[in-house]
Amino acid sequence: MNKDIIFLNPVCTHNIWGGTRLNREFGYSIEGDDIGECWGISAHPSGDDTVRNGAFQGMKLSELWEKHPELFGNTGMDRFPLLVKIIDAKDDLSIQVHPDDAYAKVHENGSLGKTECWFILDCKENATLVVGHNAKTREELEQMIQEGKWKKFIREIPIKPGDFIQIDPGTVHAIKGGTLLLETQQSSDITYRVYDYDRKWNGKLRELHVKQSLDVIKTPFQPAKDQRSITHTEGADLEHLETCPYYTVEKYDIHGTWDHVFEAGFVNASVIEGEGSINGRKIKKGDHFIIPADFGTCSFEGNLSLICSWV
């Protein structure tokens, strides 16, 4: 069985709110000043990554998932379950909400729902994000949305680089301009736009999804519990960020040499800072790869930070 580490060629997207940091700072080969997202680990039909190396070079990740389930630990899942993105928001994104699996299955043609989480890579001083809302009851929620009482409705939280935020389905949220983050999410692109600041893009307002939003927004808002904990070892600092029904996310700050055996099945890994190597193969900021199930020992060297996830 081929147990090479699976490096991926990301798919990057043009977005009206995107910028230039993904090509300038991360070196992704895409032209433009409106690059909003790098789908670093994705087998989603809207952005299916290709394998960069080894026996499966050139194959789409979705095809690899179907043809070689053993690489992923024979999960029995009907599709690659996660999607890891880096997002560069030059402008504010619209205020939005995602459905859960049950709602998406019925209303979105069998799609997965979307639970997501954000690790803040960079942001402006005194930056904020929209997470949650201030309506206490369903009546108040409907009234605030129908009457456009956005100032009252929207709940903002201060952020700084290194913060981590879990966004459960039904949570109103928005990334604000100047924020660079890594998102780990269920493999879904179902988004309901609640409000877009009445902005016109190329002369047009974007479509809102008020009915679906009212269907799925949870009221009252309850913030997710902070699960962060750090373990310091000689070669690395290991930080647990989140475990929810869909994924576990951890961060590793490696300094020097660090050997590690992942107990999970397959592991998604993204280098968010620095450079070094894994089992002799060079890795650097912006690289995304999958460590196959039962891979054995990963020997890391260098000064680098990784965000990893698994199901």
Active site amino acids: 193
DSSP state of 170: T
For residue 105, CA distances in Å to 21, 209, 216 come to: 35, 17, 13
For residue 33, CA distances in Å to 24, 47, 89, 93 come to: 10, 19, 11, 16
Note whether 242 and 308 are within 8 A (CB).
Answer: no
Note whether 183 and 78 are within 8 A (CB).
Answer: no
Residues in the chain: 311
Contacts of 83 (CB under 8 A, 6+ apart): 39, 41, 42, 44, 183, 184, 185, 186, 187, 188
Cα–Cα nearest to 90, from 146, 131, 140, 34: 34
